[in-house]
Structure 1
Amino acid sequence: AKGDALLLGITKASLSTESFISASSFQETTKVLTEASINGRVDYLRGLKENVIMGRLIPAGTGLGAYKRLTVDVQADPDDEDYDMDSVPADARADTAEASAVE
């Protein structure tokens, strides 16, 4: 493998990250978020910084292997008229209520 050295200033280095959420936390927040929105970018939340910003578990630590193998199966859409909130476990219901309050 062959690599080339690239020296960037701290501003350019932070803005050149794959994650627009991480980049927006440093400088030019409005510009970074506006450009991401206009271009329809998706942030896959792969790094530490963007996961902390979003209030999620960070992808690091002793449980990382199990976390990466975890699959989430969405069984119902809460916006669906036929959605029965009573069928949702109590601990999941609290998360849904918090998410609705944030919106």
Structure 2
Amino acid sequence: QETTRVLTDAAIKGKVDRLLGLKENVIIGKLVPAGTGMNRYRNIELEHDLMPKESEVNESLSDDNSEENAVEEWSV
């Protein structure tokens, strides 16, 4: 009964619902607007001068490994 009242009021006032959400589309049986979102990321270009140098990456990895070993030593 509440749903009928809400829908009737919306129709009388000429309200529009774009049905952008998942639940709304499932309820009315439309195709669900869900996906991976990959279209947003297809044309991204990286600036190479902002990328870390290979030596910096290796140093960071070796620091991480030494921290993991230290944790293992304390947990034994």
TM-score by length of 2: 0.43
Task: Give the number of the structure with larger relative contact order, counting CA–CA contacts within 8 Å between residues 6 or more apart.
Answer: 1
TM-score by length of 1: 0.33
Larger radius of gyration: 2
